[in-house]
Structure 1
């Protein structure tokens, strides 16, 4: 299978170059270049077809074909055909030669897109009785340069003839039998040249499972190797100590918090190093869990570090953690970039001799001269905001510390078990009792005067509000409201209130100043771009207005909505949008339907796809050839469970039945550049 493609009959040096530009250098590459769709050439009754579906029909020519020209060398050939008792108009573009092949009374076969309302088939292909009519499914491939689809089809057919008997089965008999999977050689053949729709379905099913299993196996192997290579620092603590912490909490934990805390405590007490992702929606209570972990870590004689993206967030975490840990005489300190020289020196000295139990800070934590006495637990909040290198440096400040990543960005379970397959994932999927959901409304731009009235009422009651805009200044490219104009407009409309302005072009200390003014209620309404998205906690803010809301993704809208609803008063989120697209309308509908971040993230994934969800780099998500992690999430779950069982079984590492699978994984190089840090 590793033969060069030049060994396939008919492929010369020039064609070999063209195939190489498509990433096809070996016979295996060619055989695994699967079609991205299939055209169904099976003749079907029109009544069974959907509007705008591609369909193949057979009928009798009912009128002489009419040929017209338009534009530059463009033609349109129209002919009426009697199909299943219906008179259908068939249209062929830029194929004028077909006029000579069509005669009254001929029986012809047409494949094209059906306009069911106008009974018209367009943009299609024509076969007459003289042509060999291919019935069934025809593969359509992505091609490039001089390589044409028919040429590629021919080479693949030839490759199957020459090398089809060399395709090796890599899945063990046990899995093939359990799931009744087609063998690999037949799968490849059916994916390229399906005998019928059922065979194609079975071939796809087999290849989807194989792709997802191989990826999950790579993830699990990496995890096992990394765990065994690097033992953690076992934390010794008593159940009594944990109970003592819980009793001092001003509120009971939710079931989800209890479950997640148990998972983290098990990790801390084990000999393996913790590598866990903690997901929890805005306001679900992740900070309490972090506090409990830092408390247990300190009770076992270790120090903890919490790294956050902004100084405002660091300050808020300090207040929260001091409230939780002060009763136990545990010292919590904040190392900020703006700390005075004397204060900074005292903190660094206390850290070095072990007098400080928990240190909170931004990337200031990873600077030289910040030395811990005995670092045992590293927590990073909104970890995707830090570079891989920053997180690595912080871990190096301890000796094999346990690592906990926290995020309020709900990552769909489907993506979490794929992209974070080398980590344990804990999810707080329950909100604390008594928390009022944010009342979310979708408003059209002509309702702006009413919205300003509503803002005035809320501000008069002593509450505060956010108004979010997509851009800083006017842009010719995008017809969207911008923060500077909106700030001017609201300052005029609400003269009795102090309106603040914040955007990405302000210096860090200017942003800090504006946010502190807002947090202390000296600024009543804050007009901002999305820089307020992460980590701002102003319980007095009860209104979030988002201009041009259709331009934001669901996850981002949800993050913004999470800035309000943090106090006891009812809060509101107003989505100001006039979406032209169906996707925009659907987003607004979803936002008003649910406040559950995880449900939203799953819907967002369906709308946008996995690539867009994580951004263009995709952070470790491979490009599957047949599988789709959104559509095939059930198979993904099964593949993950199977991979965990396999990695733990001795038979997988030594058994003859798994030899081909082990060889395949070795050739792939376990997790080569596919790991999320």
Structure 2
């Protein structure tokens, strides 16, 4: 019997109650239990105190050389200490609130201590202690630490997994092709699983992890590459009859010249759209790199080829801004654009729905309102999603299903190092915009303490005196008892009082759509010189006359978010500035400020963000479709990820992979995945 067919209840020691609790952690079978890997190890290996740094946790063994002294303080609290001889050193061992051990601390008795070493005092603050004469001991070992909760404890998980290895370890099978095991010199899976749970030492643990990380990344990539390979052989997409002259004429009408990078990406997209298989392309670019214009050209190409396009964005403000932009770009071309958001009036909504169904509206722009059941397209050929990580997988796939295999273009202003993007999004082609539009100047970024707000206000006034405008971003809307951070409402009042000559606007998520529209209209028309806002302006808002953005409590924001916010300025011909007001207490917070002041290259910011945050948060794992791996880390294990991608791509490109009996197990495993049962990937 296969391990994934054996209920976890069959492991000795797993009661019905424990089985239910294991289910809550996603552990249903013996296979699940054995693949429930530790996330770190407690090191109980004995160390030489002369090699231990001050403040380090250490396990040592010695003999008790003085009777314990107990000092009581507070309510039921106690400090107990005694002298212990360790490798001819006499050290003081200290326990807090462990007075019940007093009778066991007998002169001459051997004892194993784990705790924090104070080199100056020659003192060990004990967290765990054992007596070797009792037999069983953790000393000398690496103990696995699992993610547990409720009544599932570390001892229970260690015991249950150890028992499962004894009962069912012989059933662990190797699922990787032998040539890949040989190529990468990987240990057998059975050995890797046993070692990952019970490593004898660091080298053993690393060998086990290397094998299991490769396997995890290989399966991820095999699924993506197999799906991609199948797509390439299908003819169920839409082949757009795109005339290059029509695209060139449209580009020539634009009020600016496309960058070389934009021209290259437009060619990649239109070439994809001409193919019979569906396009699935990721367009990534730094803030202000001109992704919207590229999307507009793709949507224009779809409309001129006789089909419709849809552009889904995360906020109403952004949808309305895209509507105005596209209406300007398409003026006089005969391409009709409609807006669908939650705040569109019932009558207007009926007109838009009828226009889409009859094909009188070529392009629909909207928020999640686009995916309502009553939205029907006559011929949806191209779906563009902006800031894809802000939509759940289900939302994006619902929009796709409103057409017959429409082409898909996904845009993101969260740049990912290109090689990592290609490798992570293995099912997608990746286009990257690196250039700034001509005439754009780099944004100068400054970091200041909250005590210097008077100087910040002076800076705002100076910009306003030159006819420019400023954003002031706050993390909260109203005052919070829980967080001591500036809020937008108070900051609005403070600036209005400090800079009485200026008109100050306010924008936050709790305002009605009409109020938000009015706040943005007034700022866009320079009727208000300062706009105090929450992060509702993070994505896409475009006011070229705004040359200053002040971010209050900047340490509260992540690097990518800070970079997105900074991108609200620097959109015109004048020099722009970003001021970060922060007093970070953490090393991470200080590092963020340092990165922001040293570079305005979004790809460099993204690389640093990956280092500081890890890939789960960076990719928006819970929504974007990038999986949370059990062991693998997309950044730390990038080289392995790249190897796995190359291996999977090579394997799925071979005709034998789809027919030969040697690969039958791999194909069977793929076919069990929902991806190969008619579902579309996102």
Alignment of 1:30-49 (within 5 A): 30-49=33-52
CA distance in 1: counterparts of 2:582 and 2:678, whole angstroms = 41
Structure 1 residues 386-425: Cα deviation after superposition (integer angstroms, max 9, x where no partner): 5666655654554332121222234576985687444333
**Structure-1 separation of matches of 2:401 and 2:115:** 62
Aligned to 2:171: 166
Asked if structure 1 preserves the Cα contact closer than 8 Å seen for 2:388 and 2:624, the reply is: no
Write the distance in 2 (CA, Å) between the matches of 1:672 and 1:114. 57
Give secondary structure in 1 for the equivalent of 2:337: strand
Deviations 1:356-404 (A, max 9, x none): 6555555676678876554432323334555666655654554332121
CA RMSD of aligned residues (A): 3.7
Give the Cα separation in 2 of the matches to 1:674 and 1:608: 31
How far apart in 2 are the matches of 1:148 and 1:342?
A: 59
Q: Distance in 2 between matches of 1:360 and 1:16?
A: 49
Q: Tell me if the contact between 1:332 and 1:360 (Cα under 8 Å) persists in the aligned partners.
A: no
- Determine if the alignment matches structure 1 residue 540 to structure 2 residue 545: yes
CA contact (8 A) 1:544 1:561 kept: yes
Aligned to 1:409: 414
For residue 7 of structure 2, what is the aligned residue in structure 1? 4
Who is 2:237 aligned against? 232
8 Å CA contact 1:611, 1:618 repeated in 2: no
Larger CA deviation: 587-596 vs 604-613: 604-613
Q: Distance in 1 between matches of 2:665 and 2:169?
A: 17
Determine the structure 1 residue equivalent to 2:482. 477
CA deviation after TM superposition for structure 1 residue 584, in Å: 2.3
The answer on 1:176 being equivalent to 2:168 is: no
Judging changes above 3 Å, is the alpha-carbon distance between structure 1 residues 353 and 72 closer, same or farther for their aligned structure 2 residues?
A: closer
Q: Do the aligned residues in 1 keep the contact of 2:390 with 2:623 (CA within 8 Å)?
A: no
Separation in 2, partners of 1:332, 1:77: 81
Tell me if the contact between 1:57 and 1:109 (Cα under 8 Å) persists in the aligned partners.
yes
Q: Does 1:596 align with 2:601?
A: yes
Deviation at 1:141, TM superposition (A): 3.1
Partners of 1:369 and 1:142 lie apart in 2 by 44
Q: Give the match for residue 331 of structure 1.
A: 335
| Correspondence for 1:443 among 417, 423, 448 | 448
| CA displacement 1:108-144 (0-9 Å, x = unmatched) | 4433333445443323433455355542323233444
Query: 1:56-67 counterparts in 2 under 5 A?
Result: 56-67=59-70
1:420-431, aligned counterparts within 5 Å? 420-431=425-436
User: Within 1, Cα distance between the matches of 2:310 and 2:8?
Assistant: 55
Separation in structure 2 between the aligned mates of residue 535 and residue 14 of structure 1, nearest angstrom = 51
- Measured in 1, the distance between the counterparts of 2:664 and 2:292 equals 46
Measured at CA, do residues 30 and 311 of structure 1 come closer, stay the same or move farther in structure 2, by a change above 3 Å? closer
CA pair 662-117 structure 1, distance change in 2 beyond 3 A? farther
3-state DSSP of counterpart to 1:267 = helix
Matched, 1:200 2:213: no
Matched, 1:121 2:124: yes
CA distance in 1, matches of 2:628, 2:46: 34
Deviations 1:296-343 (A, max 9, x none): 33454434343445565455445544665558x453534467999999
**2:289 aligned counterpart, secondary structure:** coil
Shift of 1:349: 8.2
2:270 aligned with 1:265:
yes
- Candidates 454, 462, 472, aligned match of 1:467: 472
Instruction: Tell me the residue number matched to 1:275.
Output: 280
Cα deviation, residue 533, structure 1: 1.8
**2:589 is equivalent to residue 587 of structure 1:** no
8 A Cα contact 1:112 1:122, kept in partner? yes
Match of 1:637 among 627, 633, 642: 642
Q: Which runs of 5+ in 1 are unaligned?
A: none
Preserved CA contact (<8 Å) 1:307 1:360:
yes
Q: Which residue of 2 aligns with 1:570?
A: 575
CA distance in 2, matches of 1:668, 1:368: 27
Distance in 1 between residues matched to 2:133 and 2:108, nearest whole Å: 14
Pairing 1:549–2:541 present: no
Please state whether the residue corresponding to 1:403 is helix, strand or coil. strand
- 1:472-516 CA-to-partner distances (Å, cap 9, x unmatched) read 222222222222222222222222221112222221011111111
1:525 and 2:530 correspond: yes
Write out per-residue CA displacement over residues 20-74 of structure 1, whole angstroms, 9 at most, x where no aligned residue: 5554443323322222222223322234334443322334545443334445555
- d(CA) in 2 for partners of 1:348 and 1:108? 78
State the shift of 1:210 in Å. Answer: 1.1
Cα deviation for residue 193 of structure 1 reads 1.7
Q: Distance in 1 between matches of 2:28 and 2:359?
A: 59
Structure 2 unaligned residues grouped into runs of 5+: none
Structure 2 CA distance for aligned equivalents of residues 95 and 108 of structure 1: 15
- Contact 2:309/2:381 (8 A) holds in 1: yes
The answer to which of 281-290 and 39-48 deviates more is: 39-48
Distance (Å, rounded) in 1 between the aligned partners of 2:500 and 2:30? 73
Residue 447 of structure 1, CA deviation:
0.6
**Which deviates the most, 574-583 or 249-258?**
249-258
For the 8 Å contact 1:307–1:380, the answer to whether it is kept is yes
Q: Secondary structure at the match of 1:38?
A: strand
Residues 338, 361 of structure 2: 8 Å contact kept = no
* Alignment partners' CA distance in 2, 1:672 and 1:48: 58
Contact 1:419 1:620 in 2 (8 A): no
- Is residue 2:509 matched to residue 1:507? no
Q: 2: distance between equivalents of 1:308 and 1:145?
A: 40
For these two proteins, the number of residue pairs brought into alignment is 676
Per-residue displacement from partner, 1:419-477 (whole Å, max 9, x unpaired)?
A: 74443333323333542121111111111111111111110110011111222222222
Checking the alignment, whether the CA contact within 8 Å between 1:620 and 1:674 is kept in structure 2 is no
Cα separation, 1, equivalents of 2:126 and 2:387: 50
Match of 1:400 in 2: 405
Q: Secondary structure at the match of 2:221?
A: helix
Of 340-349 and 154-163, deviating more is 340-349
SS in 2 for 1:467: strand
Is this contact kept in 2: 1:414–1:630, CA < 8 A? no
Q: Which has the larger displacement, 100-109 or 424-433?
A: 100-109
